[in-house]
Chains A and B, each alone.
Chain A
């Protein structure tokens, strides 16, 4: 197929779909360019091909088009985008077209947005941290370069603020670092907020921002994370940067996928999402990592809202199967005014041991994290007990755990929305919180760390 050949046999336009007859050699997901006689250009993706008839989803919708005066050129390949450092500092829509008033993005080469799976044998395990400047994450669920760590949230919680803050202030220990932020299905107000929050990073040429707003075509939303990852892969594995890809909100993405699947007439599975939702999400999340013999890394931070806070909803459920842990936001903490409202006991970074500790972050990091979590678990039990018997019936040690819990939220987790804490500061705060407990309760911390911070006979 050659993009020079245009079909004039568009039979009908139905909603966002165009049916083109008597086509030859057209395949699924092929990118299509529509040229109406009135001028301008629209784009589409082949949803279905049956014998000589192709059904194409038009990205910009079909409003105002006349099938008799419409030409369709099939490009012969799925969508390809130019890739290279030209993306840095640019703001584009969900299909990679500039929104910032600049020229198109030029790349050293083009890549198919569907991406190529990484040969599992060539994968390097994730190592070394990405420091987010968020205490609750850096201390307890450290993000590791090459990891995929989702943020599970619910409507009304500040997940977008958190995602933007992470994108604005993350670093990779002084090594070349950049962020690709793919906003999907966000409102215009949220899109403006993200732009403002990331202005500085964008001006430093360390950000690629793809904005797909809630009123953009759904098929474009399906492309947005793929374009983001394609751009990130080039910046990482060929340009040698550590790239953090933030994708918010993956629930909007999954809903777009459901809509496209319905348009294709596929048999719906759980909650009408397509049966391949798991493998589709995996095809995105598994594009992160490190590749042997190539520099850089791609770390993925998908943000997803759990409808009605339901963690068993298909999107968080399937995401949880693929990703390496999760950061869970809590309504209770949010109601207490703690930002970011990270529920430390429900959050986990499975790769943390590979990216934190001696030689990577700080010698005492893993022990401090383990002790914090153990003490938080005990504090939760104590709080439940206090609900039954009243605080006055608790032992002094138990009351110390309640004080510890309060101090944990106030001193360590809570931080300003523009505050980037160094790991050093985070761990020092963690120590201050831990030392509200009697020394006898800090049994997970090696004696040498405790001796350095406490008098021998003291608490």
Chain B
């Protein structure tokens, strides 16, 4: 039930009302200011966070790009190196072919009987006088006893010499 105050009392309470209203307005203004401040802080934090995220994303993107670039670089360099090594191997194999062919060609020279005699003597030195000596298919000799065998074919002699090759071979591909 609503009752109204008598007029003199209403007038007497006017200052209280005004005071309360002012206090309420001040509270509201303070709350509003705090809310504004909070909003500004949150906004600032959000902006800072967004900037951080952006920077991190940029950094990560740059790192990824760098990783991709490096991987491509590594692949390219590896391919180049593989080609260079394959070319060197080809040089080495060609040298082997030529040397072996050259040594095998000794078979058709005038000095071959002397070479063969030398190889036969070496086979006897290694396996003893009872070693069975037979001519090797490409020139040179093969010697055998019950448990041992000596391959003094021209091809094998050339291979052995090549296996003992030193860094002078590298002159083939060193400028």
Q: Which residues of A are interface residues toward B (Cβ below 8 A)?
A: 2, 4-9, 21-22, 71, 82, 84, 86, 89, 98, 100-104, 106-109, 196, 199-200, 202-203
Contact = CB atoms under 8 A, between A and B. Distances in A.
B81 interface: yes
3 interchain residue pairs of minimum CB distance: A102-B85, A103-B92, A9-B147
Given A86-B170, A108-B166, A103 B147 contact: no
B65 interface: no
Nearest to B81: A203
Contacts of B170: 86, 106
Interface in B145-175: 146-152, 160, 165-167, 169-170
Given A101-B86, A102-B86, A5 B167 contact: no
A3 B81 CA distance: 35
A265 B127 CA distance: 33
B150 to A, nearest CB: 6
A160 to B, nearest CB: 18
Nearest to A20: B147
A234 to B, nearest CB: 12
A106 to B, nearest CB: 5
Given A5-B149, A103-B88, 5 more contacts: A100-B81, A103-B169, A199-B78, A202-B81, A203-B77
B82 A6 contact: no
A5 B126 contact: yes
Interface residues of B, number: 28
B88 A6 contact: no
Given A102-B85, A103-B88, A6 B149 contact: yes
B133 interface: no
B91 interface: yes
Contact of A106 (B78, B127, B144, B165): B165
A21 B165 contact: no
B72 interface: no
A321 B73 CA distance: 44
Contacts of B91: 103
7 contacts: A6-B151, A8-B148, A21-B147, A86-B167, A86-B170, A103-B85, A196-B74
Given A101-B82, A199-B77, A7 B166 contact: no
B137 to A, nearest CB: 14
Contacts of B127: 5
A102 B93 CA distance: 11
Interface centre among A9, A84, A103, A104, by most chain B C-beta atoms within 10 angstroms, is A103
A400 to B, nearest CB: 27
A59 to B, nearest CB: 17
B58 interface: no
A233 to B, nearest CB: 17
A107 B163 CA distance: 12
Given A5-B148, A203-B81, A103 B166 contact: no
A108 B165 CA distance: 9
